[in-house]
Amino acid sequence: MDLAKNKRPSPQEESEPLFPSLYNFFSAITALTLFTGRYFKSVLLPPFEFNELVRQSFLIGYKSFPLVGITGFIMGLVLTIQSRPTLAEFGAESWLPAMVAVSIIREIGPVITALICAGKVGSGIGAELASMRVTEQIDAMEVSGINPFKYIVVTRILACTLMLPILVVFSDVIALLGSFLAVNINGDVTFTLYFSQVIDSLAFSDVFPAFVKTFFFGFAIGLIGCFKGYYTDKGTEGVGLAANSAVVLSSLLIFIMDMIAVQITDLLY
């Protein structure tokens, strides 16, 4: 029974690790890093699955507009109504448009939209890929000579990365409209006046970093959804697990990335 050969499990797998959960954590990090590396390698090398990319962008981006629009609208409306009393206390009610605009553009728009998409898109990708794995569709692609990583994973991650910024911009605009409506509940402000106040209050350093980080948020949603779905191994039960952990992990990652982005922006401006 001499099995000492190439594909033999590594020594770590043979003996029980000292701290199993710590070990699992680091092996998951390693696997995710390798997965990310494979993505960047595949995304740059032909053949490119352009049609599938367009189809995924449609499914991921276009189909999320209603949800993102509604949440954006409510966000702007509620934020304005909630902030009014505090500003009124200081007699600074005229600052309302500026304050709301800055908080929506810099922080709330990107983060809330990304979290909504993590819930809608991330879980969808996780479940879809997991069920493709369980029903052997991924294996079937591979044996018919087509690279499933390129066709399934790369297109989805890329579509998420490209679509999330568009969704965030859309959500920001709708949120500002909601805010305009809320300002008008108590006083009369014209549309032009409101938006000139908003635009005056926004500097390049507000808009640009906020826009850049949305690409990373989109990437994180696609990456985690695909990672969890692609490597599921618990049969049908794994489908639910993959969807669930895709949402949890990508939401967490969005907050962590946001924190890092804030630190970097602080240093730069």
Partner 1 sequence: MDKNSSNSNVIEKPGKDEPALQIVNIHKSFKHNSILKGLNITLGRGENLVVLGKSGTGKSVTIKCIVGLIIPDEGNITVLGKNILRLKDKELNELRKKIGFLFQSAALYDSMTVRENLNFPLRTNKSLSEDEKEELVREALENVGLLDAIDKMPSELSGGMRKRVGLARTLILKPQIMLYDEPTNGLDPITSKEIGNLINDVKEKYHTSSIIITHDIACAKIIADRIIVLKDGVCLTEGTYEELENSDNLEVRAYFE
List of residues contacting partner 1 (CB under 8 A): 3, 5-9, 13, 47, 131-132, 135-137, 139-146
Between 99 and 141, CB nearer to partner 1: 141
What is the smallest separation between the CB atom of 5 and partner 1, expressed in angstroms? 5
User: Closer CB to partner 1, residue 11 or residue 47?
Assistant: 47
203 HSE (CA, 13 A, CB side): 3
Least distance between partner 1 and beta carbon 15 (Å): 11
Inter-residue contact 39 to 100 (CB < 8 Å)? no
Name 47's Cβ contacts closer than 8 Å, sequence gap at least 6: 150
The residue among 7 and 91 lying less far from partner 1, judged by its C-beta, is 7
Angle between helix axes 155-186 and 50-60 (nearest 10 degrees) is 30
| Closer of 91 and 145 to partner 1 (Cβ) | 145
**CA distances from residue 76 to 182, 183, 189 in whole angstroms, order as listed:** 8, 10, 16
Closest distance to partner 1 from the beta carbon of 146 (Å): 7
Nearer to partner 1, 4 or 267 (CB): 4
Where b means 16+ CB within 10 Å and e means fewer, 140-155 reads ebeeeeeebbbebbbb
Closest to 201 in 3D by CA, of 55, 96, 122, 115: 96
Q: Closest distance between partner 1 and the C-beta of residue 236, in Å?
A: 11
Instruction: Determine what percent of the chain falls in helix, strand and coil, rounding each to the nearest 5.
Output: 85, 0, 15
Residue 1 CB, shortest distance to partner 1, in Å, is: 8
